[in-house]
Amino acid sequence: MILVFFFWLSCRLSQELEAEQLRNNVKDREIQQLKYEVQVKQNAPTPESGHRTVTAPATATTPSEAALISTMSSTGPLDYVGDGASVRSSLRNRWAADEKSIPQTQARRLSYDRREGRGLSNGEYRRMLDKNINADWSIIVDKIIQDTDQQASIFLQHKLKSATPEQRESIFRSIQRHSYALMTNRFGNFLVQRFLELGTRDQINQIASTMQGHIVSLAMEPFGCHVVQKALDNVEEAIKVELVSELFQNIPETITHRYACHVWQKVFEIRWNTHPPAVMYHVNSALKGRWAQVALDETGSLVIQNIFENLTEHDKRPILNEVLDNIVMIAKGQWGNWVIQHVLEQAEKGSDRDRAFNTVLDEAVQLSTDQFASKVVEKALRIGGPAFLTRFVDRVSVGRKDRPRIPLIDIASDQYGNYVVQWLIMNASSTELKVAVSRLIKRHMVSLRGSKYGQKVAFLVEKILRNYD
């Protein structure tokens, strides 16, 4: 054990020594780079010294180094070259002094790419939020597009809030030139959305004009769909009509698309003031006879529920009729069952709700023993009130002449139906009904105990009757 411990200790010390050497090498390289930057600064041309040259290291000068030389050449030479920490401090102080030396009455420009392979630091971004500071905004926009730079996007969003009208116009031109690339960018889309909120009416309309002809592709894009929704919130109604009209070209493909469905939900929520487009005319024409399939789709289910909540009776009636004609099929769907639950609970007309409740009664066994439709049955029992609960018990308590076993036992023995029966017993509207259901089930205890799922119901029934018999 001692040998093993010393072996482990020697390996650990060796690893720590290698790590320390690696850190020292990195620190040495950083110090050499900073010293080189200072040397460049000392040899930069000044009004007093004229042109001076410096011999560069073996590595080639990159564009960012050239930007550094260009930026630093306008100030006097640094007078200190020392250890790495001092060099860093000297560079920071010198940059701050350079900023203060620029007259406040003039627009100050900062070089964007001061360090090799890197953009501005957090502190530099904060300084650039000053209204007196300008920059080449297109470089920052390029950084967002090419490098998916989140920090650059956040900076420009904050800058838009504090920018002067001239700065905002300059940022707008940079955004407009690359609007589609920004709209489909992970972080760029937030910048476009912010501009749609803060821009002038003319600027917002111009951004929207760049979207025309691309609405379908943007709506089906994970980031572009958010920009389309924001545009529908902020553009003038005439332009809004043009944007929505483009969606009419691909209704079946977009209305159930995982991203475009959210755009459609936004369209259904719009409250038009003057000349609304015939949205539901086009939608119903494209999907007539197909609404049941739409209801079975994950996103289509959400779209239909949104239609039921936001559109007029006239607009949603064709859809509601198709849903009611296919209740059983839709209720058995993983996503469709939510549509039927919505009808049971939210349908405006009592006749529509009654039709749905009656279907649950007529198809009680079939629906109660289905994985997803059983949720519809539970919803009906939960919101139907004591009268419906009693009707349900009466319906499943009557057997056929050729089969004395009542449907209630078939449901209680099922993988999914047993939960319906347990809920029925535990939430019976009265003690009398709870005991009556339990006694009906008790007659078939042998069958239930022989069932994997019926055992749960049998145990509950015995527990209930123990207190009343």
pLDDT tens digits, one per residue of 357-410? 999 999 999 999 999 999 999 999 999 988 899 899 889 888 777 777 888 889
- Measured CA to CA, the distance from residue 154 to residue 149 in angstroms comes to 9
Task: Quote the pLDDT of residue 454.
Answer: 86
Comparison of pLDDT for 11 and 277, the residue scoring more? 277
Dihedral sign for Cα 136, 139, 140, 142, please: positive
- Taking the C-alpha atoms of residue 65 and residue 113, their distance in angstroms, rounded to an integer, is 9
Give the residue carrying structure tokens 């940022």.
171
Q: Are 369 and 417 in contact (CB under 8 A)?
A: yes
Residue 27 confidence (pLDDT): 55
Determine the distance from the C-alpha atom of residue 467 to the mean position of all C-alpha atoms in its chain, rounded to a whole number: 52
Mean pLDDT of the chain: 79
Q: What is the pLDDT of residue 451?
A: 83
Residue 80 pLDDT greater than 70, yes or no: no
Helix, coil or strand: residue 50: strand
pLDDT at 432: 82
**In the chain, % of residues over pLDDT 70:** 72
Q: Taking 50 as the threshold, does the pLDDT of residue 425 lie above it?
A: yes
pLDDT at 267 over 80: yes
Q: What percentage of the chain has pLDDT greater than the value 90?
A: 46
pLDDT surpasses 60 at 73:
no
Q: Who's near 444: CB < 8 A, 6+ residues apart?
A: 405, 406, 409
Torsion sign across C-alpha atoms 370, 376, 382, 384 = negative
Assign 52 a pLDDT band (cuts: 50, 70, 90).
Answer: very low
Residue 291 has pLDDT above 90, yes or no: yes
Q: Is the pLDDT of residue 108 over 80?
A: no
Position 340 pLDDT exceeds 90 = yes
User: Residue 124's Cα: distance from chain center in Å?
Assistant: 31
Q: What pLDDT is recorded for position 121? A: 64
Burial state string for 384-421 with b = 16 or more CB within 10 A and e = fewer than 16: beeebbbbbbeebeeeeeeeeebbbbbbbbbebbbbbb
Does 231 score more than 50 pLDDT?
A: yes
- What are the tens digits of pLDDT across the range 112-154? 443 334 556 666 667 677 666 777 888 889 999 999 989 899 9
Q: What is the DSSP letter of 250?
A: G
Mean pLDDT lowest for which of 73-77, 112-116, 181-185, 400-404? 73-77
pLDDT at 444: 80
| pTM score | 0.68
Q: Which amino acid is at 332?
A: K
Lowest-confidence segment of 29-33, 140-144, 203-207, 223-227 by average pLDDT = 29-33
**Angle made by CA atoms 102, 103, 104, in degrees to the nearest 5:** 110
Residue 83 has a pLDDT of 41
- One DSSP character per residue, 308-371 reads HHHS-HHHHHHHHHHHHHTHHHHHTSTTHHHHHHHHHHH-SSHHHHHHHHHHHHHTHHHHHTST
Q: Using pLDDT thresholds of 50, 70 and 90, give the confidence band for residue 461.
A: confident
3-state secondary structure of 51: coil
Is residue 293 predicted with pLDDT exceeding 70? yes
> What pLDDT is stored for residue 61 in this prediction?
36
Diameter of the chain by CA atoms?
115
- Residue 324: is its pLDDT beyond 90? yes
Neighbours of 8 (CB within 10 A): 10
Poorest-pLDDT segment among 109-113, 206-210, 455-459:
109-113
Quickly state the pLDDT bin for 190 (edges 50, 70, 90).
Answer: very high
The Cα-based distances of 421 to 121, 441, 447, 453 in angstroms read 64, 10, 15, 11
For 76, phi and psi rounded to 5 degrees?
A: -70, 170
